[in-house]
């Protein structure tokens, strides 16, 4: 099946915005709660899953499931599109944190 690159790009961008917002909110909550901000593999995995969940909820909120079905975009493919910016962002944070320490 041919990929609809403008649609993939739009959902990739939505995934990046949702990851950035999720990471910012969780970091602020941890900071104001006087808890340590962890940069472990498990914390990164949690952030990726939370970001994917928020991105999927945003897609349902926008009522775009019929559009995705018409474009033959499988839900697992959509999940991987949402996961890509979150994984890349967490990898960059982990590399930056290991370079500082």
- Give the mean model confidence (pLDDT) for residues 63-68: 87
* Domain hosting residue 9, numbered range: 5-100
Nearest partner of 82 among 35, 3, 17, judged by Cα: 17
The total domain count for the chain is: 1
Spatial distance between the Cα atoms of 76 and 100, rounded to a whole number of angstroms: 36
pLDDT score recorded for residue 81 = 93
* pLDDT band at residue 21 using 50, 70 and 90 as cut-offs: very high
Task: Tell me what pLDDT residue 17 has.
Answer: 96
Mean pLDDT for 63-80 is: 87
For the cut 90, the answer to whether the pLDDT of residue 7 exceeds it is no
* pTM of the full structure: 0.86
């Amino acid at each position: 099946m041919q990929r609809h690159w403008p649609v993939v790009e739009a959902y990739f961008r939505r995934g990046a915005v949702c990851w950035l917002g999720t990471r910012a909110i969780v970091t602020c909550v941890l900071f104001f709660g006087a808890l340590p901000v962890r940069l472990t593999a498990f914390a990164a995995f949690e952030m990726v899953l939370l970001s994917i969940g928020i991105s999927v909820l945003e897609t349902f909120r926008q009522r775009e499931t019929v559009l995705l079905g018409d474009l033959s975009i499988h839900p697992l493919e959509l999940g991987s599109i949402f996961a890509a910016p979150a994984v890349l962002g967490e990898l960059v944070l982990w590399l930056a944190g290991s370079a500082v320490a």
